[in-house]
Amino acid sequence: MKSVCKILLFYSLRSFLLLLASCSDDKPAETRIAFSMSDTMYNRCSFSVAQIQTVKNEVRLFGKVVADNNKTAQVFPIMSGAVKSINVEIGDYVKQGQVLASIQSSEVANYQKQKLDALNDVAIAEKNLQVAKDLYEGKLNSEKDVMAAEKELDKARAELKRINEIYSIYQLKAGSLYQITAPTSGFIVTKKINRNEQLRSDESEPVFSIAEINEVWVLANVNETDIAKIQTGQDVEISTLAFPGKIYKGKIDKIFNAIDPETKSMKVRIKVPNADLKLKPEMNCTVSVKYSEHEKMVAVPSSALIFDKSKSWLMVFNDKKNIESRKVELYRQLKDTTYIKSGIAEGETVISQNGLLIYDAIND
């Protein structure tokens, strides 16, 4: 009889322990043991209040960095001739007026001859005018002759002025060398010139392109399915493979309302400040565009979420002795913000940093 009672007691106790174990494995829905947060732990944690926010979503676009057309200068050869020297390479920073290349040109020699002829013509015209005035004073010619000499001098001076202006515009020097100079300060972004190459003055492509890149453009492609989500003025975040930890911020400045027949996409332009000059033309990048879904939900920082047993939890803070492990249903996680479908109400406080320490202390 006693042995039967012992067996019954053993199985009853075993069943109770199994039931208790199954209950504890099912959920840490709320605090099971008395827990009090110490001041040290409290100071290590951060807290956020759950708030109702408009739900935002994100579209990812792929694009390319280009120089701002309004801050780009194309440099063409004004004179034909042979390239004697090149002083810069792609990526070099140049200042306005800096010599980029030198060309030996017969046209420069011709301008030099024209300038010498113009100087000589002015000198002769000045002497002829003085002779005409002297003869007029001696009554050996008429006033008409003096006026004709003055006109010849004006004509000679006008021609000299024209030649001097050409020298000033093209920054010509003595001899047959023509120097290509930078019309503005910036970085050399294209270079299509080689030493000993024969250049023509009617070249269709620039030999140098100079751009200021303290502010650049990003041209991004928008798929047809995402066109309705894109608007001018939207804030965007731009990241690159070259600098994965660096996020650049900008706004959609222009939408090109045309579909590329090859890519079946629409282009948008984004102006991006580039004070550190890390963004370079032709660099590939990823563009994240956030847009509103016109729906409101409770939002908490994504850092407050804890994932355990294939479920999502928040540590709801009431006071140091009243902290709950609350299971929640997620709607969407968007980088630093997570929208909650159910499980938490507006105004409740959650632990947004080091909440996992509290979760482990309460539920382990």
What architecture is domain 28-58+295-363?
A: Beta Barrel (2.40)
- CA neighbor of 343 nearest in space, from 27, 29, 24: 29
pLDDT tens for the chain, 364 residues long, are: 444 444 433 444 444 444 444 444 444 444 444 678 888 889 999 999 999 999 988 999 999 999 998 889 999 988 888 999 999 999 899 999 899 999 888 888 888 888 899 999 999 999 999 988 888 888 888 888 889 989 999 999 999 999 899 888 777 776 778 888 999 999 999 999 999 998 887 878 899 999 999 999 999 999 999 999 999 999 999 999 999 889 999 999 999 999 988 888 999 999 999 988 899 999 999 999 988 888 899 999 999 999 998 999 999 999 998 999 999 999 998 888 999 999 999 999 999 999 998 898 888 6
> Looking at the chain, which residues constitute the CATH 2.40.30.170 domain(s)?
59-69+212-291
pTM exceeding the 0.75 threshold for the entire prediction: no
> Looking at the chain, which residues constitute the CATH 2.40.420.20 domain(s)?
28-58+295-363
Question: In the chain, how many H helices and how many E strands?
Answer: 5, 20
97: left (phi over 0), alpha (psi -120 to 50) or beta: left
Q: Whats the size of the chain, residue-wise? A: 364
Its CATH class, for the domain covering 71-105+176-209, is mainly beta
What is the Cα 329 distance to its own chain's centre? 37
Range 201-206 contact pairs with CB under 8 angstroms and sequence separation of 24 or more: 201/77, 201/78, 201/79, 201/80, 201/107, 203/76, 203/77, 206/74, 206/75, 206/76
- What's the rounded Cα separation, in Å, for the pair 146 and 131? 9
What architecture is domain 59-69+212-291?
A: Beta Barrel (2.40)
- CA neighbor of 358 nearest in space, from 299, 314, 301, 312: 314
Q: How far apart are the first and last CA of the chain?
A: 41
> Looking at the chain, which residues constitute the CATH 1.10.287 domain(s)?
107-170
Residues 235, 290: contact at Cβ < 8 Å? yes
CATH 3.30.70 is right for the domain spanning 107-170: no
Helices (H), the chain: 2-26, 39-44, 106-137, 143-170, 355-363
